Each structure stands twice: as C-alpha cells, then as structure tokens.
Amino acid sequence: MIENVILSNLAYTEPYARKILPFLKIEYFSDRVYQEVFKIISNYIIKYNGMPTYEALDITLDETDILSDEEKARADQLVEKLTVDPNTSMDWLLDETEKFCKDRAIHLALMKSIEIYDKKDNVNILGAIPNILQEALAVSFDTNVGHDFFEDAYHRFEFYHLEEFKIPFGLDLLNFITKGGVSRKTLTILYGGTNIGKTFCMCSLAADNIRQGKNVLYITLEMSEEMIAQRVEANLLDTNMDDISKIPEEIYLEKVKRIKEKCVGNLIIKEFATAGAGPTNFRYLLNELKLKKGFVPDIIYVDYLNICISSRISKSKSGLYEYVGSISQELRGLAVEMNLPIITATQFNREGFKSTDPGLENVSESFATGFVADLVLGLVRTDELDKLKQIKIIQLKTRYMFKGDMPYFILGADIKKMKLSNVDDKEQNLSSPQKIIGNDEKEIDNGFIGLF
C-alpha cells in the first residue's frame, strides 16, 4: 500500500522526507488514522528539524485526543509497522509519491467540483470549477532546491554556451538590442501615450512572427477580433487598411489563400471584455486552444496591460500602483509557466505623452510594471516623425544588453499599412555615430545621441 511506503520513508528516510514534505497534504490521505500519523511525523520534522524515533511517534500518538480508541489502536499498529527497505530506489519512491499526490489531487478536485455543481445556489461559483481542476492537474514535484555555485559550475558553463531559444523580430535593430529576439519566459512592455501606436506596433510585430512560421495568440481587451485581424491583414497584404474592404470577394479570398500558403505560422485572436479578464483567464484559453484546436502559441500579445484584471488582489481594496503592478507580475508568471514570451503595452501619463524623451517615471498608472518586465520600450511620435513615416523607440529597461549602447533609435512606421520597417542609417538623423554589430557581424555606423 503506497500510503504505508510514503509514511515509512517520511519518518525514517531523511533525504526523501526533505524532498517530498513540501508537496504532501494531509487531505491526500483518505483515512483519518493515516492523516493523524502523517500530521505527527510532519510536525515533528518541522519543529525539531530532524527525523522522529519510534518512541517519539508512539508517545505523541498516545497524547492525541482526536482519534477514537479504535482508531488509536489502528494508529499504534501502523506506527509499529513503519519500516523502510534500504534497497528501494529513491527515484522510484519520488515517482510513485508524485503519482499518488497527483491522483489524490485530481480525485479531490472532482469531488469538490461535483459538490459545487450539485448546489447550484450561486452561478458565479461554477466559474471556480475550471480553476480547481487546473490546480489539481498542475500538481508536480520540483525537488530542485537551488543552484550550488561551486558544485554546479559545469552546468553553468554549459548554460553560458547554450544557444537560447528566441522569437526573432522582423526588424534589425530590435533583434540587435535583444541579441536575436525575445526569449522564452519573458515579459516585454511597450509604453506610449493614447493613440500613439501601441496596438499598431504589436500588430506589426505579430505579422512578422506569422511570416517567420510562428504561432501567435493575440488577446485583445479593447478592440474587436475583426479590427485586430484587419490591422494584421493590412500588414500581410501590404495594403492600406481602408482599402481592404474595397477588394472584391474573390480577389480578397485568393489573397488570403496566398498568405496562408506562404506563412507556416497561424494567428488566433481572442477578444475579452474590457477589464473582464486577466492572466488566469488567459491560462484557461491556452488549455482550450490546445484541446479544441491543437493550437500552441509560440508568443502571446496582450492588448493591453492596464485593462486586464488581477486574480490576486481586489482593485477596490488596493491602489492603482499595487493593482496594475500585480497584473504585470501575473503576466510574467504566465510567461514563465507556459515557457513563452509575452508582449503587452501600457500608457504614459500626460507628461510622458508630451515628452520626446519619456522615462519609466512617466508610466500612467503603475511604475511597478517596469520592475518585473525584461524589456521596456517607449514609443514616441511627433509631427516631424509622422511626416517622415517614422517612430522613435526608447529603451527604458532591458535585461538583454547595456541600454546605454543604444538608448533610442528610429523605425519606419507606415500607419496605414500597419507596418514597422527598418530605416537606412542616414535616416536615423543622428549627429554622433556609434558602432554596432549587425547580424552579419560587420560594423555599421549608427549614432543615437542628440536625436532631438
């Protein structure tokens, strides 16, 4: 019986106990006697930071007043029979214990879900069922207790020379500042004023991803699915957005067919009500897409951060600083959990909107959003830049490189075609040249000082 093996090794095999104790829950044991013995063993280990003896377990069990006389007799027999086989494989023990915990977690989640469904006294409570099941399915052991600086030197050396998975941009300078593209488990935030081009930039980047054969999930909480699709389509068709509706049906469908043939990647756009969804909802969506469509994204766009909701704290009981900061933390947590990059956007305040050189202090509702992000880019448009069909990109924060090497730069910005593009070095309007290394590893003269 696996419960006997678990309790025996929990009591008398210290390496095993140290690894699995954080994951075992008392409710995983269905019998009250096993629950009480588990509680006695775990309480002893936690309180005395050591393994219990048979005498300690026996005395503590005699002092308990929770069990009946019949149950206490059974508990005495159980403790007396707790023995371990030194030849048992530790890997087998851990695997079987993890399987036990998963099975019990799913069983308890199903029972809880049935109980909620049978009551039906509150329709809103039914929404908790997916979360209960999701948590049960996610039960897993992580026995890694950290990186040992000296013992793990070889693994660290391998990491330094590992070719990191990247989602490349279709823009040379963005690839340069990220050393090849955005990494997995990262959060990128685009900062800009109202109507400055946050959605425009994300749609353009998403179109580039599709061309590269990546699967893209675009979550919108502001525009409709069709409006986002129209913007991406204008980019892919290289057509002014207003002209798409003028294309005859037969020609339009043929153009879409050609795009599909050229683009190995796919795009799913999902609309949520403004302030009606957050990272928890996005997690359910990812599971549904995988189950129903076999769709697993390589990258996610969330349009945009400020109008998501947090599942951890209440907006009415916290300030905007704390609330929006919590949303950004949850989004990055989702990126880590799903092992993919997430790109989202937020707003500058009034001063940032007017400035041609805004900083993180100009974030509209939460300076805290920049703390958890891996890359923060500011978007600046002026009348002069609009005439040139350009946009200024400012590196506000980066974990990819020293941002002083390229604090800001210019990209082409065709708003009507929803397309960002590379510009020639001379179009950067730069007065002080810098040397950067392009993808071909040749030096190119570029300056990024005194742009405005």
| 31 band by pLDDT with thresholds 50, 70 and 90 | very high
User: Is residue 129 a part of any domain in this protein?
Assistant: yes
CB atoms within 10 A of CB 156: 13
The reported pLDDT for the residue numbered 442 is 34
Q: Are 434 and 452 in contact (CB under 8 A)?
A: no
CATH number at 335 reads 3.40.50.300
3-class SS at 216? strand
Pair (126, 236) in one structural domain: no
Pair (183, 107) in one structural domain: no
pLDDT above 90 as % of the chain? 53
The reported pLDDT for the residue numbered 285 is 92
3-class SS at 393? strand
For residue 434, pLDDT over 60 is answered with no
What's the mean pLDDT when you consider all of the chain? 84
User: Is residue 96 a part of any domain in this protein?
Assistant: yes
**What are 449's strand-pairing partners?**
432
For residue 39, pLDDT over 90 is answered with yes
The reported pLDDT for the residue numbered 118 is 77
Q: How many domains does the chain have?
A: 2
Q: Which residue has the higher pLDDT, 139 or 95?
A: 95
Pair (39, 179) in one structural domain: no
Q: Which residue has the higher pLDDT, 57 or 156?
A: 57
Pair (235, 275) in one structural domain: yes
Pair (122, 212) in one structural domain: no
Pair (127, 237) in one structural domain: no
For residue 28, pLDDT over 90 is answered with yes
User: Is residue 145 a part of any domain in this protein?
Assistant: no
User: Is residue 109 a part of any domain in this protein?
Assistant: yes
Nearest-CA neighbor of 61 among 80, 38, 37, 83? 37
Q: Which residue has the higher pLDDT, 445 or 253?
A: 253
CATH number at 61 reads 1.10.860.10
Pair (215, 103) in one structural domain: no
Cα dihedral angle (415, 419, 423, 428), rounded to 10 degrees? 40
For residue 123, pLDDT over 60 is answered with no
Rounded to an integer, the average pLDDT of 205-216 is 94
User: Is residue 333 a part of any domain in this protein?
Assistant: yes
The reported pLDDT for the residue numbered 312 is 78
Encode pLDDT of 227-250 as tens digits: 999 999 999 999 999 999 999 999
| 401 band by pLDDT with thresholds 50, 70 and 90 | confident
User: Is residue 397 a part of any domain in this protein?
Assistant: yes
The reported pLDDT for the residue numbered 218 is 97
User: Is residue 64 a part of any domain in this protein?
Assistant: yes
**What are 348's strand-pairing partners?**
363
Angle between helices 2-12 and 32-48 (to 10 degrees): 20
| Token pair 């704290």 in the structure block, residue | 313
The reported pLDDT for the residue numbered 125 is 57
Angle between helices 69-80 and 54-63 (to 10 degrees): 180
Pair (110, 238) in one structural domain: no
d(CA 183, CA 343): 11
Encode pLDDT of 69-96 as tens digits: 899 999 999 999 999 998 999 989 999 9
Pair (118, 204) in one structural domain: no
Q: Are 28 and 102 in contact (CB under 8 A)?
A: no
Angle between helices 320-338 and 279-293 (to 10 degrees): 30
The reported pLDDT for the residue numbered 364 is 52
For residue 377, pLDDT over 50 is answered with yes
d(CA 113, CA 107): 10
DSSP state of 340: S
Pair (427, 331) in one structural domain: yes
| 395 band by pLDDT with thresholds 50, 70 and 90 | very high
User: Is residue 161 a part of any domain in this protein?
Assistant: no
Q: Are 308 and 322 in contact (CB under 8 A)?
A: no
Pair (48, 170) in one structural domain: no
Pair (310, 189) in one structural domain: yes
Encode pLDDT of 161-200 as tens digits: 776 688 999 999 999 999 999 999 999 999 888 888 899 9
317 lies in which domain range?
166-449
Q: Sheet of 390-398: strands edge to edge?
A: 267-271, 216-220, 299-303, 342-347, 187-192, 375-380, 390-398, 408-414, 419-421
Encode pLDDT of 278-331 as tens digits: 998 999 899 889 888 899 999 999 998 989 998 878 776 667 778 888 899 999
Encode pLDDT of 13-25 as tens digits: 998 998 888 889 9
